[in-house]
Amino acid sequence: MQLLSSQKMFNGWQQRYRHYSQTNQCDMTFSIYIPFRVTQGYKVPTVYCLAGLTCTDENFTIKAGAQQYAAQLGLVLVMPDTSPRGEDVANDAAYDLGQGAGFYVNATEAPWAKHFQMYDYIVQELPDLIEANFDVTQERSLMGHSMGGHGALVIALRNSERYKSVSAFAPIVNPMDIPWGQKALNAYLGDNQAAWAQYDACHCINHASHRLPILIDQGTADEFYPTQLQPEKLVTAAKVAGCPIQFNLRQDYDHSYYFIASFVETHLTFHAEHLGL
């Protein structure tokens, strides 16, 4: 792991690291916020914050305003990148496929399969790295925005024993049924509907081994609601599956980080409760 930057913030440290990922077969960059509580010698839980289309590890870091609450609550925040990157990594001219648009899947199709293994990277390699190198417990929660909300939900529901809670801002919940998801799943997984279903939160929720608490916020002025974003479908599926879900429809909020900043305290407080803080 190579330390790229380290800056004091809210009495803790905002850092950025690069490391070689065996899973993605390329260098990956992540950001991490380490609260003062860790400096005092305590191990604390981790919340992974998955970003949306076009984002890097820096969007949530710079724009969400989350660190102050992580500082108060005593949480480490990890902000991963949204895909493998580099000249040797496959890409597409569109903003919603390739670099910056990994969709948190393990790609099986050329030219993506070699590097685009974001599902395994977020589920296993990155937590292993974090837990080996920082003073964190093995208690984890997940949150995400848009494509990152999709990633957080799918990963938490398929590995519900590994996480205490999951939350999302304006998530894609049923990618099999919307244009963004159909394009990405077809490119990364081919025309294999059974494989697609493994990355669709509305399907995954029926097979979760634990009843993970879920929190979702959606703005009514979001330009992608309800064509690409249909959180009500997950609310219905969660009720059928018996998963506790809280859904907040926020009047006049849009898809931006101004929306996230407005409610990130609610989300981190939710995670802190379920992480036993």
User: Which residues on neighbouring strands pair with residue 30, listed in sequence order?
Assistant: 17, 80
- Answer for which of 9, 195, 197, 235 binds a copy of itself (CB under 8 A) is 9
Least separation in angstroms between residue 258's CB and a copy of itself is 4
Say whether residue 120 binds a copy of itself (CB under 8 A): no
- The CA-based angle 226-268-3, given to 5 degrees, is 105
Q: Closer to a copy of itself at the Cβ: 55 or 202?
A: 55
Say whether residue 65 binds a copy of itself (CB under 8 A): yes
DSSP state of 169: E
Say whether residue 3 binds a copy of itself (CB under 8 A): no
Q: Which stretch binds a copy of itself (CB under 8 A): 110-118, 142-150, 224-232, 256-264?
A: 256-264
On whether the CB atoms of residues 136 and 76 are closer than 8 A, the answer is yes
Say whether residue 146 binds a copy of itself (CB under 8 A): no
Say whether residue 36 binds a copy of itself (CB under 8 A): no
Q: Closer to a copy of itself at the Cβ: 13 or 121?
A: 13
Distance, CA of 217 to CA of 259 (rounded, Å): 9
Residues serving a catalytic function are: 146, 222, 255
Provide the binding-site residues for a copy of itself, judged by CB under 8 A. 7-11, 14, 62-63, 65, 67-68, 219, 221, 252-254, 256-259, 261-262
